[in-house]
Structure 1
Amino acid sequence: MSQEVVAKRYADALFDIGQEKSKLDTFQEEMKTLRKVTLENRSLESVLGHPRIPADRKKELVTSSFKGFSEEVLHTLHLLIDRHRTDIIVPLADRFLEKVHIHQGVQEATVYSVRELTEDEKQRLSRTFAPKVGKDSLIIDNRVDPDLLGGVRIRIGNRIFDGSVRGKLDQMERELLSANNRG
């Protein structure tokens, strides 16, 4: 079975438990942390996947590393260890967070700007662009890109809204080139 299918099943089960026990917010924070730690520490993934390290030692490592995590999330991690599926931790976290965002009516967006945006600017962008993608609000990840010259470029899922000076200059160049090719 593919990694994505298995990750989806675990994420769906954890989401259902979170809803049932009113712990979605807790699980969401824990899954964000788990995802970040796993991506930033590739050695953790190799230790958890190592065939010569006993499952009990791996479980002890997970329990001590993620002290304070909910019993349900730790239990899920222990199941992944027992079933030799620790390779799906990141896809599981991604799928879980995606389900929570859908449930909450939010979506992540990457906003590229020449300078760091203020909270007020982020909120205005969220109010403006969330309805364009059918969401209530956006979780904005602001990235500074001095090549834009001015304005912003927003990526929401697979859609890009380009209001940057660089984007407008590129568009003008394409239009001029196509006009020259026709005439």
Structure 2
Amino acid sequence: MVNVSIARRYARALLDVATEAGRADAVSDQLSTFAGLLADNRELADVLFNPAFTASQRSRVVEGLIQASGALEPVLANTLRLLVDRNRLAYLPDIARLYRDMADAQAGRVRGHVTSAVPLTLDAVQKLSESLRALTQRNVVLEPRVDPNVLGGIAAQVGSTLYDGTLRTQLEQMRRELKQR
């Protein structure tokens, strides 16, 4: 199991340096993309995480990825090099998750998701985000999801709070009320 306290230290240090440079959000996006690349590409992850490969082999692969990405933030490129040098690249998924959470907290953002029976338009998601901002007093970043079991309406979860306006829930509530009578 990966030690989260180590990942937290790297995430905090990266956030501090990125914030000083005024690039915290750009680093967050690129770090999430890089971590997603490793999660989606098993062969690449094997080369970078497998101790059978030497540190210099892993370093060359990371340098190749940095070059291929083009405009990778310098602070992130340096962090990736440091992780390879210290044999801590396996912490990258946790570092990315913790960094995003810390950057969101620093910016006063909260993440959530909205579930609907059909895909929502970008405008509808934006309006819902603004409504939730008024309720939570924080900037809300929503990830839309589609679930046909919802039947109609939407459910939005922001942090640990669920705002459920789905037809399915309303029908279930009506069923319970009718049973009680």
TM-score normalised to the size of structure 1? 0.87
The match for 1:74 is: 77
The match for 2:27 is: 27
* Partner residue of 1:100 out of 103, 106, 130: 103
Asked if the contact 2:11/2:98 (under 8 Å) is kept, the reply is: yes
Asked if the contact 1:153/1:163 (under 8 Å) is kept, the reply is: yes
Displacement of 1:112 in angstroms is: 0.7
Displacement of 1:163 in angstroms is: 0.4
5 Å-filtered alignment, 1:157-176, equals 157-176=159-178
Task: Name the stretch that deviates more: 68-77 or 139-148.
Answer: 68-77
4+ residue runs over 3 A deviation: 174-177
Asked if the contact 2:55/2:87 (under 8 Å) is kept, the reply is: no
Aligned letter for 1:30?
Q
Aligned letter for 2:132?
F
Separation of aligned partners in 2, 1:43 and 1:131: 45
The match for 1:148 is: 150
Q: Quote the sequence identity (%).
A: 30
5 Å-filtered alignment, 1:98-137, equals 98-135=101-138, 137=139
Separation of aligned partners in 1, 2:175 and 2:13: 51
Displacement of 1:129 in angstroms is: 1.1
TM-score normalised to the size of structure 2? 0.88
Distance verdict in 2 for CA 1:134–1:44, change over 3 Å: farther
CA deviation map 1:7-62 (0-9, x unaligned): 11101100110111222232122112112212212332222121121111111111
Aligned letter for 1:54?
T
Separation of aligned partners in 2, 1:99 and 1:131: 22
Distance verdict in 2 for CA 1:60–1:126, change over 3 Å: same
Separation of aligned partners in 2, 1:166 and 1:123: 24
Q: Is 1:13 equivalent to 2:31 in the alignment?
A: no
Q: Which runs of 5+ in 1 are unaligned?
A: none
Separation of aligned partners in 2, 1:26 and 1:112: 27
Task: Name the stretch that deviates more: 125-134 or 56-65.
Answer: 125-134
Q: Is 1:4 equivalent to 2:10 in the alignment?
A: no
Aligned letter for 1:140?
L
Separation of aligned partners in 1, 2:38 and 2:116: 28
Distance verdict in 2 for CA 1:104–1:114, change over 3 Å: same
Aligned length: 178
Distance verdict in 2 for CA 1:83–1:175, change over 3 Å: farther
Give me the CA root mean square deviation.
Answer: 1.9
The match for 1:85 is: 88
